[in-house]
Amino acid sequence: MNIVIAGGTGFVGKHLTTHFTEKGDHVYILTRHPENHEDDKNVTYVGWLKEDYQPWKHLEKVDAIINLAGASLAGGRWTEERKQLIRQSRLDATNGVLELIENLEETPEVLVNGSAVGFYGTSPHKSFTEDTERPGNDFLASVVKDWENTARQAKLKGVRTAFMRFGLILGDGGVLPLMKRPYQFFVGGRLGDGEQWMSWVHIDDVVGMIDFAIQNETVEDAVNVTAPTPKRNDDFSRTLADVLHRPHWCHVPGFIIRTILGEMSTLVLDGQAVYPKKAENEGYTFHYPDLHGALTSLLNK
């Protein structure tokens, strides 16, 4: 297969590239700076999102497009400027993908578009599946709603489209290295009251569910990319401490985190219990459904 990845140089994108190239697929990575990368046998870097770039001229028949592009949520305090960048970067990238689809000689079979469990808003009590159609009313929910609505235009072009609502991704990148650091210095513990939900997922299941969405024609629209066992922060942190063989005792009060991070503190102090109903109904088998097993695989290598 020929697979196009926007955002292919990031944490998830690198794992996807390795996965698909090891299967013998060819990966085209869309980037604003192709000159900074070197092609190899199964990976080609293609310029896009600049006026002079016409990526469709450099692609063979495209079977699938994966769009992960967008500014990091954790790139600094959420000033109005930063919030605009978070939103606009996702919309610009998705519009770039739509332009690519419009200009390809043959329409790809599927678009797997990034999304987030932030769609549901936050709640200490409710649980959410893909059956929850009403988005939350906070900033992240509004971003995800706009992001998905933009990507949904691909369906009008005849492309099966799946919105992968990522939870907290655990792997050798992302937030896990930051989360384990306090425990390495024996000062780990819960954040805030510890009751906030953490809908986590192992990076291997992120890759597996994206591949599953590409391969299965019945998978479309919203797909929750989370393990079937969300944990509250205190439980998650205790499991992390156990795997690292470190004490779990240091409590960081919520008001301190909110003072330091401002509105961005919602990423660590608020959450939602999200379940992967669609993936389970469609027959996806999780590599790591259990948190202890997931953390052990990543931290005890």
Ramachandran class of 198: left when φ > 0, alpha when ψ lies in -120 to 50, beta otherwise: beta
State the pLDDT at residue 301.
Answer: 67
CATH of the domain at 111: 3.40.50.720
Structural domains in the chain (count) = 1
Distance CA 222, CA 132 (A): 10
- Report residue 115: phi and psi, to 5°: -160, -165
Q: What is the pLDDT of residues 44-57, one digit of tens each?
A: 999 999 888 999 99
Q: What is the pLDDT of residues 156-215, one digit of tens each?
A: 999 999 999 999 999 998 899 999 999 999 999 999 999 999 999 999 999 999 999 999
Mean pLDDT of the chain: 95
Kindly give the pairing relationship between strand 200-202 and strand 168-170. Answer: parallel
Residues of the chain with pLDDT under 70: 301
What range defines the domain where residue 241 resides? 2-299
Please report how the helices 139-151 and 80-103 are oriented relative to each other, as an axis angle in degrees rounded to 10: 10
Please, which residues bridge with residue 40 across strands? 43
